[in-house]
Structure 1
Amino acid sequence: MRNIRTVHPGNSLIHILRWLPPRQGSGRAMSDTRHIFRGSKPRYCWLSIFLLLACNVMAQSPHDWLERMDGANEKFNYQGTLVHMCDGTMDIVRIVHRVDHGQVTERMTAQASGGRQIIRSTDKVMCILPDQKKVTVEQRNSSGSPMDSKIANFPSFSNINAQLYDISILGEDQIAERETIILAIHPADSFRFGYRLWLDHRTALPLKFELVDEAGRGLEQGVFTEIEFYESIPAEDVEPTLATDGFEWKRSAVVAIETQDDATADKPPGSGWRVEILPPGFKLTFAQSRLDTVATTTLDQLVYSDGLATISVFIEPEMAESAAVEGASKIGATNAFTTFRNGYLITAMGGVPLETARKAALSVSPR
């Protein structure tokens, strides 16, 4: 497949050869060989098994690994500690991930910010913010939006366009005392970011990831320092553990009034907005008009994707009390650009370079 290559680690064979017993005596080579095999049968049995397993791991193509990874989240129960680093800050997050008959529930507890907790399930996301004495509950979209396709905010990698990204296997490493294979996903241009992924040999779950720019510079990193897998996890282990007495509760009051999955640029729903300037490969994959029953306003959302990177564009009527500021903003590795036009507030955001988000926001126009 074009742009897919496998780079075998150069040191693996050296490490294997170091396991071999040294030659003894000065006899002929054939005699030495017979001596080695006579006295080391168990050792060579294990070495053969190791070689078979290693060959099987490296024989899988990058796309094989990515397909396995995309399904891993819905297969395995685990608990672990993740260290997240971005913009010079570090946070430690405790994750409990439960799968029950294909339904995923996940509880994440951050060490910073007073122990903030996020509980994600198929149909909703609950955020408990003890430092603000606030709880927010937002219904998740059941319509198949790419933004809700995963429990974690992690993109799908199995549909990567080989014309836009170069994928390679860099080698192997050990993360959280587990063997991993390292994949590199390098963008073909400066309009999108790339990734480096450390996938667990047994489960293909990403135990470490790095978001990188077109020059390979790290922008964001997450790594498990320890992780344990389980046959099952009790439901109570993914329930909130923080007391919320006296907290302000805010529940989502937004309902969908028109939704279109796999949307086409020819027929978007809602008021019919479009983005005129997008990098090569980005297509409209989801569109929705939502009604805020409290503010009685309509919010239009357009989602564009190149198969990996995603740009979300939000269009809503400009409100006099709005605190939005025109220009660029950033949350972690997510870039956003906001502009005002003809009485509307327009924001484009995503895990893409700022210039990509800026051009998208400034090129929004009604059909």
Structure 2
Amino acid sequence: MFDRLGSQSHHRLRWFLGLFVTWLAVSAQAADAPKTAEDWLEQLGPALNATSYKGVFVYSRGDQVSSMRIAHRFHDGEVQERLVIQDGDQGEIIRRGGRVFCILPSHGRIQLDAVLPSGPFSEAFSSKLPPFRRWYAARLLDDDRVAGHRAVVVALNPKDVHRYRYRLWLEKTSGLLVKSQVLANDDTVLERFQFTMLELTDDIPDSEFQIPFEDPRQALSLDKAEARIAAAAPPPEPSQPAKFAWSLGWHPEGFQETPSPHSHTGQAVAFSDGLASFSVFIAPVGNKDMPTGISRIGATTIFMRKMVVGDQRHLVTVVGEIPPDTAMKVGRSVFVQKNREPARVGTEPGSDMAARPQATAGSE
């Protein structure tokens, strides 16, 4: 009898153990279930800022290749970052939140520069639901390995011919961007960013983000360095408004106007679809002989054309991460009018029927 009871208990224990192992396996599979491409893109935004790491990355654009050492952390509620150029002339960029310091030893000076984005694609992926999703289709490719870290690969393919394609490699544990490619429609890689060495770590000392001087005893904290530079900096020159207005008759659907880049001599308007961006500059050139035509360095296209309005000659420049045909179409849709009204864009972006000034504008 006892043998029979013992046998029943043994079988019952084996059944419970089998059930428990099966539950563990199912749970593990659920936990390891692959995320969608959209899930990874949502994780990328916070990872770009909140992940602490240090390493070396390479950036190539056309035949230009450069490498940089980086230390990055999120500390006391702000992003802190240090970039050190590894080849050519010496130089560093140190940021704390919105303050950016450019250190240029070869020029014998330290200057406070404009706000720069924190790492590749940080502006594009800063929101939870990036607006570019309407204009790009995202899908997962086969996993890969970058700088010794496992990575998922996300393809972003445009839904029209006015944008480039993107490939993003995201580190599996953090979602950090560790490699990216910008590709033309024929699969030519136009630009590439990739970590060659990467360490995910919270152990980054405060000294990593100090302003360096030739004499280490002169090293300053960012707050003191900012005060010294601000006190020594000359007041900015007041910019004069351009005495003309212009209208942009066409731009690709989905590109919205963003804060414009600074221009002393003319007017500028910037556009972005949440991932790619371009700017349009209009400036009077008088009798200066300015170059015209189109060129491309990596994924950056530059298109320049001259326009004549009355007795005024103007130079139209389109520059940004858009294909050459798109840049030319944007630049050729510009119309200039001689008056003091501010620059404006066409009322029907994405259409050739946008409102245009009545003044006749000729092109050279």
User: Counting strand residues as a fraction of each chain, which structure ranks higher?
Assistant: 1
Q: Does 1:300 align with 2:267?
A: yes
Match of 2:319 in 1: 349
How much does 1:134 deviate?
6.8
Match of 2:157 in 1: 186
Percent identity over the alignment?
28
How much does 1:257 deviate?
9.6
Pair 224,360 (structure 1): closer, same or farther in 2 beyond 3 Å? same
Q: Is the 8 A contact 1:97 1:238 kept in 2?
A: no
Match of 1:71 in 2: 46
Q: Deviations over 1:333-366 (max 9, x none)?
A: 2111223334433321111112222222232234
How much does 1:129 deviate?
4.6
Pair 340,49 (structure 1): closer, same or farther in 2 beyond 3 Å? same
- Spell out the pairing of 1:45-124 with structure 2 (5 A cutoff): 51-55=29-33, 58=34, 60-124=35-99
* 1:233 counterpart SS class: coil
Q: Deviations over 1:254-288 (max 9, x none)?
A: 67899xxxxxxxxxx99653321222322323347
Supply the AA of the counterpart residue of 2:118.
I
Match of 1:362 in 2: 332
Q: Is the 8 A contact 2:306 2:313 kept in 1?
A: yes
Q: Within 2, Cα distance between the matches of 1:176 and 1:46?
A: 32
Q: Is the 8 A contact 1:135 1:250 kept in 2?
A: no
- Spell out the pairing of 1:170-209 with structure 2 (5 A cutoff): 170-209=141-180
Pair 116,82 (structure 1): closer, same or farther in 2 beyond 3 Å? same
Q: Is the 8 A contact 1:98 1:232 kept in 2?
A: no
Structure exhibiting the larger radius of gyration computed from Cα positions: 2
* 1:73 counterpart SS class: helix
Aligned match for 1:152, one of 112, 116, 119: 119
Aligned match for 1:335, one of 301, 319, 322: 301
Pair 300,102 (structure 1): closer, same or farther in 2 beyond 3 Å? farther
User: Counting helix residues as a fraction of each chain, which structure ranks higher?
Assistant: 2
Supply the AA of the counterpart residue of 1:152.
G
Supply the AA of the counterpart residue of 1:197.
L
TM-score normalised according to structure 2 size: 0.68
TM-score normalised according to structure 1 size: 0.67
Pair 303,319 (structure 1): closer, same or farther in 2 beyond 3 Å? same
Q: Within 1, Cα distance between the matches of 2:186 and 2:195?
A: 25
Q: Is the 8 A contact 1:81 1:93 kept in 2?
A: yes
Q: Does 1:166 align with 2:137?
A: yes
Match of 1:277 in 2: 250
Q: Which runs of 5+ in 1 are unaligned?
A: 1-33, 141-147, 259-268
Q: Within 2, Cα distance between the matches of 1:130 and 1:324?
A: 33
How much does 1:88 deviate?
3.4
Q: Is the 8 A contact 2:61 2:297 kept in 1?
A: no
Match of 2:359 in 1: none
Q: CA RMSD in A?
A: 3.8
Q: Deviations over 1:196-236 (max 9, x none)?
A: 11111221111111111123321111111221223253343
Q: Is the 8 A contact 1:165 1:188 kept in 2?
A: yes
How much does 1:159 deviate?
2.0
